[in-house]
Amino acid sequence: MRMVPTVLRSLLREIRQRLGAILLLGALGAVGSGLLVGMLAVYYDLDASRARFYREQRLADFSLSLKRAPRSALEQVRRHPGVRHLEGRVRIEARVDLPDSPEPITSTALSLPRIRRPVLNDILLVSGTWFEGTRDDQTILNDAFARAHDLRPGDHLEALIMGRQQRLLVVGTALAPEFVYVLPPAGGMVPDPARTGVLYLPLDTLQDWAGLNGAFNEFLGLAWDLRPVPLRNTLKDLERQLDPYGVALSLTGEEMPSVQFLANELHELQTSATLLPALCLGVVGLVLHIVTGRMVTQQRTTIGTLRALGYTRTFIVRHYLGYGLVVGLGSALAGLALGLWIQSAMVRLYQDYFELPPFQPALYPGLLAGALGVGVLFAMAGTVQAALRASRMNPAEAMRPPAPEKGGRIFLERVRVLWEFLPFWGKLVLRSIFRNPFRSMVAILTSLAATALLVESLCMMAAMHAMIDHEFRHTSHQDLTVALREPVGRDILSELGALPGITEVEPQLVVSADLSRGAREKRTGLTGLVEGNRLFTPLDEQGQPLRVPEEGLVLARKLAEILGVVPGDTLRLRPLIGTRQIREAPVVAVVDTYMGLGAWCRLEYLSRLIGEDWAANAILLDLANPRPDRALLEELARRPGVVGVEQRVRALEKIQQLMDQNFGTSLFILILFSGLLAFGSVLNTAMVSLEERQREVGTLRVLGYTPERVALVFATEIALLSAVGIGLGLWAGVGLVHLVVQAYSRELFRLPAVIPPEALFQSAAVMVLFVALAQVVVWRLVARMPWLAVFKVRE
C-alpha cells in the first residue's frame, strides 16, 4: 500500500518541477471554467428573474391598439376560442414638465384599476402606495423615470394630458414587465430612463380625460396557444373582428420591444457562455496533450523500471491521467471561484441595465458540478493519449536508452537555393516546426482563434458605428423631428416655418400598412417623401440616395423577398390609418438597404392611398442653431396634435455613450482573453520545445553562444508560428465577421460587414504584443537554464 503514496509524491514533485507551465495552463483552464460558470449562472439568474417577473405581474401574450372599443367589443372578442383572457386599458400620450428638464418629456399614460386587483401587465410597487380614494390627480410613476428625476411619493409634477394641464401627486413608483428595457416612446434603440416617462393613472380618470368613457383603446390578452403561427392567426381573427374599432397595431408578447430586447440579450449571453469556455478548455486539453506526450518520452526509462518492478499498466495509465486530473481539478476549482465572482459582478451590472425586481445571484450546484466535470474532462482528454502510450511501453525496451532522435529531411530542403542560404539556426527552427506538426498546429490554431476573435469584435464595433453614422449622419440631417398624432394638411408647413430659428421644414408621412401578394403578407411602415427631400434621405448600401418615383413603391430587398415580388409586380396595400381601404400599388424598384423592411414612396402618392390629397404626420426641422432653446421646444411640444419632439443630436449622443460603455468593457475583457489564450499557448509550446532541446541549448552555450543567441532560436520558432496563426486569424476573422453579420441579419435591420484596415492592424498589434511578452519569458528561461547540468552523465 505504500506504492501509491510514493508515486503520488512523485506526481506532485513532477508538477512542482513544471510549476510555471502548470500554473499557466491552470490559469487558462480557470478562465474557461470561470466564464462557463459565471456566464451561465448569470443567464440562469436573469432568466429566472425574468420568468418570475413576467409570471407574477402577468405579462400579456399579445396586445391590440385600437381607436376606441367599448366594453361590448371586449366581451365579444373575449369569446374567441383562441383567447384565454382579455382586458381593456387606456393608453394615451402625456407630456411631463419637470424643472430639471429643458423641454417637456413625451411620456405614456396607462390606466390601472382604481382599486387594486390583479391585471395583465401589472406593476410591482417599489415605493409608495396604490391610488387612494376618488381623487383624479394621483399617479404612479415608473421607477427608473422617477429615479432619474429624483421624484418620490409625495412630490408633484405637471403634465399635459389630452390638452389639459394637470398637477399630479406622485403616490408610488413601480416596475413593470413591459418596461424592463426602457426605450423612449418616440422611438430609439437605447434606453433613456430620464426621457421615458410612464405614468399610471386610475382607469376612470384616464377614460374621462381621453373621452373614452366606458371604452378602451388597448386590449391586453392571454392566448391558449402560444406557438407563433397559431398566435398570429388568433390575432388576425381578432383584428378582423375589431376592425370597426380601428385596430392600429397588434403585437405578440415576443414582439414587444422590451421583451424582445431582453430575450436577445439572454440568447447572446448563452452563446458567449459556451463559445469562450470551449475555446479556453480546448486549448488546455491540446497543450496538455503536448506536455504529457513529452513527459512520457522523457520518462521512458522510469516507466520501464516501474513496469519491471511489477507496476501494472493500469497503474501507469492512472499516473499520467492523474496529471490531467490534478490540472483539471485545480483549474476547475479556481474557475468556480472566479465564476462566482463573475456572476455577482454581472448580476450587479444587469441590475443597473434592466428594470427588473432586485434579484440575488443564486448558487447552482448542478452547474458547478457540471463545470467541474467539464473542466476535468477536457484536461483528462488531453492526457489520455500519453497515458496509453506509456502503458503500452515494453519494460525491457523502455529501460534501454532511447534510440537517437531521428533526423531526416523536411520538404523545404528540396528548395536548395533557399535552404543553403539559411543560417544553421534557421534550419533548426524549420525542422523543429515541421517535425512536430501537432505542436506547431496547436500554436497556430490558438493564435488564429485569438486573432479572429479580436478581428470579429473590432469589426462588429465598427459595424455598429457605421450603422449609427448611416442613420444619424447620412440619412437624417434634421435637427428636430416633430411627430404628429394625426396626419395634417399643408398648413402645418407655413405654421412651423414661421417659428423663430427654423430654417427649413420638410414634411413626411409614415403609415403602417399591411402589404400582401397572394398568400404572403407583411406589416410594415411606409415612408412618404416629398420631391427634393433634403433633411431625410434614405440611402442604399452603396450610400446613394433612393430615387422615389411619383407613383408606386420602392421596397427593401428583404421585404420584397418576404412578399415574393419583383419590380413590375403589384401589391395589395391596406393602410392602418385613414380610410383603411385596400388599394393596389405597383412595385417600382427593389433596393439593398440596411433597413430590411423599408418601403418608400412619394408623400403625395401615399396621401392618396389613405384617402387624402396631401397629408403629413412627421415634420422635420432644420434650425439655425442645432441645439434648440427651451422656448422653441416648449412652443413645439405644446401644440395640440404634437406627440413628440426628437432631437437628432441628443439621440446620437445617447447611443454613442451607451456603445462606448458597453463595447468598451467587453472589448477590454476580450483583449485580455485573447491575449491570455495566445500568451499561454505560445509560451507552453516554447517551454516544451525548450525542455525537449535542453541538450541543444547546453551544447550551444558550451560552444560559446550567448543566451540571447540561443533564445533567438526559440523566439524565431514562436514568431514564425504566431505570424502564420495571426495571418490566418485575420482571414478567419474577416470570414467570421461575414458569418456573424449574416446571423444577425434580422428583418428590422442588417449590420453592414465593415472591415476597417485599422481593425486588422489593431488585432495583429495586440497579438504581437502578447506574443512578445511570451518571448520575454522564454528568453528568461533560456538565460536561467542550468545548462551545465545537461552534461552530467544521464540518469
Task: Give the interface with other proteins as residue ranges (CB under 8 A).
Answer: 403-408, 423-424, 427-428, 431-432, 435, 695-696, 698-706, 709, 788, 791, 793-794
Which grid cell sits at 328?
483539471
The rounded distance, in Å, linking the Cα atoms of 141 and 126 is 10
Who contacts 105 (Cβ-Cβ below 8 Å, separation ≥6)? 95, 96, 97, 98, 194, 195, 197
Least distance to other proteins, CB of residue 700, Å: 7
Q: Toward other proteins, which CB reaches closer, 421 or 518?
A: 421
Least distance to other proteins, CB of residue 709, Å: 8
Q: Which residue has the cell 402618392?
A: 605
Q: Toward other proteins, which CB reaches closer, 368 or 428?
A: 428
Phi, psi of 618 (to 5 degrees): -145, 135
Q: Toward other proteins, which CB reaches closer, 14 or 692?
A: 692
Q: At what angle do helices 3-17 and 19-56 cross, to 10 degrees?
A: 90
Least distance to other proteins, CB of residue 414, Å: 13
Least distance to other proteins, CB of residue 793, Å: 8
Q: Toward other proteins, which CB reaches closer, 328 or 707?
A: 707
Q: Toward other proteins, which CB reaches closer, 438 or 791?
A: 791
DSSP-derived 3-state class of residue 582: coil
Least distance to other proteins, CB of residue 784, Å: 11
Q: Toward other proteins, which CB reaches closer, 544 or 706?
A: 706
Q: Toward other proteins, which CB reaches closer, 170 or 700?
A: 700
Which grid cell sits at 282?
480546448
Q: Toward other proteins, which CB reaches closer, 363 or 702?
A: 702
Q: Toward other proteins, which CB reaches closer, 195 or 701?
A: 701
Q: Toward other proteins, which CB reaches closer, 224 or 705?
A: 705
Contact 519, 565 (CB under 8 A): no
Q: Toward other proteins, which CB reaches closer, 243 or 405?
A: 405
Contact 643, 734 (CB under 8 A): no
Least distance to other proteins, CB of residue 686, Å: 16
The rounded distance, in Å, linking the Cα atoms of 607 and 552 is 12
Phi, psi of 125 (to 5 degrees): -65, 130
Number of CB atoms found within 10 A of residue 167's CB: 10
Name which of 612, 630, 613, 632 is nearest 621 in CA terms: 632
Count, residues in the chain? 795
Name which of 327, 334, 340, 320 is nearest 376 in CA terms: 327
Least distance to other proteins, CB of residue 712, Å: 12
Least distance to other proteins, CB of residue 724, Å: 20
Least distance to other proteins, CB of residue 658, Å: 56
Contact 395, 304 (CB under 8 A): yes
Least distance to other proteins, CB of residue 787, Å: 9
In DSSP notation, 342-387 reads HHHHHHHHHHHHS-----PPPP-HHHHHHHHHHHHHHHHHHHHHHH
Angle ∠(517,522,523) on CA atoms, nearest 5: 130
Who contacts 500 (Cβ-Cβ below 8 Å, separation ≥6)? 632
DSSP-derived 3-state class of residue 732: helix
Least distance to other proteins, CB of residue 426, Å: 10
